[in-house]
Amino acid sequence: MTIEEKVGQLLMVHFHGKMANQDSKQLIQNLKVGGIIYYTWANELSCPHQVQNLSLGLQKQTHKNRLNIPLLIAVDQEGGVVSRLQYGFTDFPGNWAIGRTNNPLLAQQSAYALGQELKAVGINMNLAPVIDINTSSHHPIIGIRSFGSDPYTVSLFADYTLRGYQQAQMIATLKHFPGHGDACIDSHCHLPSLQKSQKELESTDLLPFKKLAQDVEVIMTAHLLVPALDPKRCSTLSEPTLTYLRENLNFQGVILSDSLSMQAIAESCPSFEEAAIQALQAGCDMLLLGGKSLLESHSMLEFSLSDIQRIHHALVYAVKVGRISEQRLNQAVERILNLKKRYLSISQTKKLSIQQHVTTLDHQKIAQCIASTALQITSGDPTCLNSVHHKQLVVLAPQLLAQNIKNASLLELSQKTQSWFYDLAPSYHDISAAQYLTEQADLALIFCYNAWKYEAQAALIQAVLDLGKPVILVSTRDPIDSSLFPHTYLTLTTFSPSLFSMQAVYKLLAGECK
């Protein structure tokens, strides 16, 4: 392989298009990129048929390359709040809901089912599971993406999740090393610092990685400053940190960086080209150049085709002038090619016959079981549920929950139901409308989504509670929301905003389950 071909294999990139196009052709045939990552906002992902055609078209573009190396095609399909594929796919609840079931077999079953659905549309790599420990309940950056707050619980459920992915022959990715769960700052926005001793880290955040590092093919880094491992450089750019992963945890697979477009990286390096060079020097084998900045001031920041070309050129130049040794480059490429050899084949690029939906009744039953088992009555008197059907009901919820609430028939709980949907940070008009509708009703059913984070959303809920009418509160994301409003008629916690979690709420309120 030429240096240019080798460097291309290191890059996992995104492009805009619902099918293979000239941009993807440039990336695959000119830069020889090793992987593509899908995003809903970039690739539509409207139905299984479209996703499958996209995957087939991209793999077909590799056939004209001199070496015809198939692509890693990846997606963030964690379940719950991070699910890129929705239409025609099973809407599995996320990790926290799975952990709440106390049944690790459900983790294995859901991962196997999810892996089967991804493979059916030509996706061969899932950037999951998250094995961060959600130890900071007041700063839940990871939140319900985690299996829980106990490292042994996280390790157990992640272990069974890996078994499910392996059963489906799906490449899984443990993330985010060395552990993002105790950070109080989101690395999408700034560089967090994890102030723990190495001994503390090894008994908490590092423990799941220690237990599972030899059972997984890929581990993703976190953009964190962890002084106990390296006081100067963030983990993605830290040779001591990644050497710890190799030597202390005996990880032999591919180290994948988290997206280099994130603000934590921008704060750590003068340029993205420099970040890519430092990440490879530190020990990352594959560099993720996908995603958008989450900062409002940089909300349009994403890697363009020209950005990726510059990064590719910078890496090639760094090798040619000796800043990056060819030995280090070869080491990374060999790991990537060995991974592809084990999991990918030319036969996978042939068209499969699928229906408009890849979800099955069996997969949906697994999701339903997780959702209903995880649902918790946090506080209040469940006997109040007996008369919901006969009361005049108002349903209040953030707009992003509207479709799942409607699809779960929650607006049909009562013969007389009104509803009001609003932004995560509702306006003064939304608060006034919520109060007005509640005054006309006998009972308010309020859904909250990270009210701890959105002051205006918490204000709306409190304004409704202050009216003195009975309120049933449903916390659909981070469970800290349940503790913010102690004076409710009844508080339910779903640990997931998925459709099946909303259906579990419906069944409980409609008296269809205990």
Q: Which residues participate in catalysis according to the annotation?
A: 188, 258
Distance between CA atoms of residues 156 and 162, nearest Å: 10
Distance between CA atoms of residues 413 and 502, nearest Å: 12
Strands 376-380, 490-493: pairing kind: antiparallel
Angle value at C-alpha 383, between 377 and 387, nearest 5 degrees: 115
Distance between CA atoms of residues 456 and 483, nearest Å: 17
Question: What DSSP line would sit under 46-78, residue for residue?
Answer: -SHHHHHHHHHHHHHHHTTSSS-PPPEEEE-EE
Q: Hunting for tokens 């704060």 — which residue is that?
A: 267
Q: Hunting for tokens 């719950």 — which residue is that?
A: 80
* Close Cβ partners of 106 (under 8 Å, ≥ 6 residues apart): 98, 366, 369, 370, 373
H helix runs in 181-325, sequence order: 198-203, 207-212, 239-243, 263-266, 272-282, 305-320
Instruction: Report CA dihedral (159, 160, 162, 164) to the nearest 10 degrees.
Output: 170
Distance between CA atoms of residues 47 and 34, nearest Å: 25
Q: With beta carbons less than 8 A apart as the criterion, state whether 181 and 142 touch.
A: yes
Distance between CA atoms of residues 340 and 318, nearest Å: 26
Q: With beta carbons less than 8 A apart as the criterion, state whether 287 and 243 touch.
A: no
- Order the strands of the 443-448 sheet from edge to edge: 376-380, 490-493, 471-475, 443-448, 392-398, 416-422
